[in-house]
Structure 1
C-alpha cells in the first residue's frame, strides 16, 4: 500500500491523463459549519463529485455515537453513485485540513478499495497552486465499487480499555474535560493519550514528514510496538490521526463510536 497522501502536483498530472484516470471526491464538511454542497458548486476540482458526510459516510446517530459507520450496502451504493470504481484510484479532499476527507479515505480503505489518497493541503493547496476550478453541479458516471468491509482494523467499546495505547485526537481542552461544545459529557476515556489532529500538520496545512510524525507520536508513547487505536468525538476526525500514524509507520485501529458512543452507556468509566 502506498502513501495515504497525494500532492497537488501529482493530482494535476493524474487529471491530465484523461477522464477515466482518477475519481475525485469532494467532502466539504465542517462541524457546525454551512452545508457543503453550495460551497462545492461555487468551486471545486475539475470532475470532482460531491460527497455528503452525514448522508453518505455515516449511519444515523444512536448508541454508536454521532457518526456511526454506515451500513455496507448503503456505503457501496453511495460510492457507486459518485463514480467510484474498483479499478480506478480515488482522491478525496475537503476544505477542513483533511478532517472530513480522512473519513472518506478510511471508509474506502476499510471497505477494500486498493488505491485511495487524501489531497495533502486540501482545497486551499489546490487553489494556492493555481489549479483549475470548476463550478456548478456534477453528474458523475456510475461506478462499480464492491464493498468488502473489514480491511482496516477497528475496536468496539468493549475492547477499548484493552488497547495498549489509545489516542484521543480531539483538542486538548476537550480531552482534559475543561470544555465540551458538542457532546453532553466532558472528559476522555481512561488511559488515553492526547495527540490533537492539528499537530499532524505543518503551518501550511500539509502533513508533517514521517520523521516528524514518528517523533510526535513517540512523545505521546506511541511507537507501534503495541496495539494502538484512535478515537475523537464521533469517529470522523480520528481518521486524521490514523493517516498520520500510517505515515509514521504505525498501524492504528479506529474506535468508530468514539467519545459520543462511549458516553451513551453511563456504566463506562470517564476520566
Structure 2
C-alpha cells in the first residue's frame, strides 16, 4: 500500500488569479493589511485605494493582543479576539482568504500566519500585493468597503508551531534559529526600537528582504528560495523584532518546502529581559 504524501497548502496567489476568483459566486475574503513601522496611516492609504471589496485590517489592534510584560511589542491575539475579528471580516471555512499589503507581504504575512495558526483553510498572500494589482491595470475601490455578512466561524489555535523564549534559547543541536531582521540590527550596529542591540546567541542572520526578487515586491521563486535556505536544517525557528516580519520568513520557507516555528515575542521580548544574553557581530 502506497504511503500517504502530505499536500502542502499553497502560500501565494497571483493578481490574475485573484481577479478571476473575485468574480466567482463565492469569492475569497480580501483583507488589506496596510502597515509599516513609522507609518500610522494604513487606514488612510486603504481608503485612498484598495482591491474592490477588501476589508481593512489593523495590525496593531486586530492582529495583535494587548501589551503585557514580557510578551513583546506585538503579542499574539487570543483565539477569542481573532475569532471575533474573523467573523466581522466575513471569513468562513469555505470561501478562502487573500491577504495583501503594499510592502511585499511583510505585514500581510502576519495575517496569513495567524489565520493559518487558528485553523482557517485556504489563506494565501497576494504575491506583489497592491503593486502587482495596479501593475496589471485592475480597478480599485476607494473609501470603506462593506464587509461580507458576518460569519459564525469557530477558530482554535496551534495549527502552526511556536517557540517559547526558552526554546529559542536552546534550539536542538541539528536545528536552525533564523533572525529575520535587517543585518545591521542582527549585528547590533543599530537598535532603533528595542531595549538592547544584538541577537539571540546561536541565531543565524536571514533578513526578510532576501525573500523578495530584486527591484520588485514579488517573492523569489520556490527554486530561488530553496537555494537561499540551502544551509537551513530542521527543526527551524524564526524571530524578528516583534513577531511580524518573521511570518514573512516562515511564508518564504513554506514556499521552499520547509516548515518553521515562530517565536512570537521575538527580539522585543527577549531584549526586554535582562536575564537573557545578547550576542553581537555577524556570527551566531
Question: TM-score, normalising length from structure 1?
Answer: 0.96
Equivalence for 2:220: 208
> Secondary structure of the equivalent of 1:261?
helix
Equivalence for 2:205: 194
Contact preservation (8 Å) 2:195, 2:272: no
Q: 2:168 aligns with which of 152, 160, 169?
A: 160
Equivalence for 1:114: 121
Contact preservation (8 Å) 2:104, 2:219: no
> Secondary structure of the equivalent of 2:229?
helix
When the two structures are aligned, how many residues end up with a matched partner?
266
- What is the Cα deviation at residue 86 of structure 1? 1.6
- What is the Cα deviation at residue 97 of structure 1? 1.1
Note the alpha carbon deviations across 1:164-194, whole angstroms, 9 max, x for none.
Answer: 2100000000000000111121100000001
Moved more, 34-43 or 109-118: 34-43
Equivalence for 2:37: 31
- What is the Cα deviation at residue 205 of structure 1? 1.3
Contact preservation (8 Å) 1:86, 1:144: no
- What is the Cα deviation at residue 210 of structure 1? 1.1
> Secondary structure of the equivalent of 1:99?
coil
> Secondary structure of the equivalent of 1:24?
strand
Q: 2:90 aligns with which of 83, 93, 103?
A: 83
Note the alpha carbon deviations across 1:139-186, whole angstroms, 9 max, x for none.
Answer: 212122211100001011111123221000000000000001111211
Equivalence for 2:282: none
Across the aligned residues of Structure 1 and Structure 2, the Cα RMSD in angstroms comes to 1.0
Quote the Cα distance in structure 2 between the aligned partners of 1:144 and 1:125: 32
Note the alpha carbon deviations across 1:69-116, whole angstroms, 9 max, x for none.
Answer: 001101110111111112210000011110110000000000001110
Note the alpha carbon deviations across 1:25-81, whole angstroms, 9 max, x for none.
Answer: 000101111321111111100110010000100012231100000011011101111
Contact preservation (8 Å) 1:29, 1:94: yes
Matched, 1:102 2:112: no
Equivalence for 1:180: 191
